Amino acid sequence: MTDWLTGAEMASLIVSADIVLSLHRSEGFGLLPAQAMVAGKAVVATGWSANLDFMAPGTGVLVDYTLVPVRDPQALYRGGRWAEPDVADAAHKLAALVADPAERQALGARAAAQAAAGLDPERIGRQALAWLSGAA
């Protein structure tokens, strides 16, 4: 699939999935895993980068990785590192979730609860105000 999706189309795709996979090298926030967790889906994602701010074992399945130098022909990230996900580990973890629908549903429920608590816009807004005011 290579088409661009609207927000509504993306939400529909996420809701129709049993498992959402995000094998990334670096993730600025982790919008796809966050959206999937809010929707109560089991998420399998690289265990590296900003998605760890809201994903942990028990609320998502974290894939092993190896840190490697960034391949960047534009030299914007000179000296940087990113994660190379372990595809075999991801396949093993996906297979385990496919084979266990009850665990997949339980994981999705824990993910939704974590996302509701950790990604609550009012809580994040209060935290941002505290940071901006120097109170945090």
| Per-domain boundaries in the chain | 7-133
Q: pLDDT tens-digit profile of 79-90?
A: 889 999 999 999
Model confidence, pTM: 0.86
Instruction: Provide the pLDDT confidence category of residue 128 given band limits of 50, 70 and 90.
Output: confident
CATH topology of domain 7-133: Rossmann fold (3.40.50)
Instruction: Provide the pLDDT confidence category of residue 74 given band limits of 50, 70 and 90.
Output: confident
49 Cβ contact list (under 8 Å, min separation 6): 24, 26, 27, 28, 30, 83
- The mean pLDDT value for 26-33 works out to 88
Instruction: Provide the pLDDT confidence category of residue 28 given band limits of 50, 70 and 90.
Output: confident
Mean of pLDDT over the chain: 92
Name the region of 97 (left: φ>0; alpha: ψ -120 to 50; beta: rest): alpha
The pLDDT score that the predictor gives to residue 136 is 62
Tell me the C-alpha distance between 82 and 84, whole Å: 7
7 Cβ contact list (under 8 Å, min separation 6): none
The pLDDT score that the predictor gives to residue 37 is 96
With tokens 């939400």, the residue in question is: 11
Tell me the C-alpha distance between 72 and 80, whole Å: 9
Helix H or strand E segment including 95: helix 87-99
> For the stretch 25-62, what's the b/e string if a residue is b when 16 or more beta carbons lie within 10 angstroms of its beta carbon?
bebeebebbbbbbbbbbbbbbbbbbbbeebbeeebbbb
**pLDDT greater than 90 at residue 59:** yes
Terminal CA-to-CA distance of the chain, rounded, Å?
43
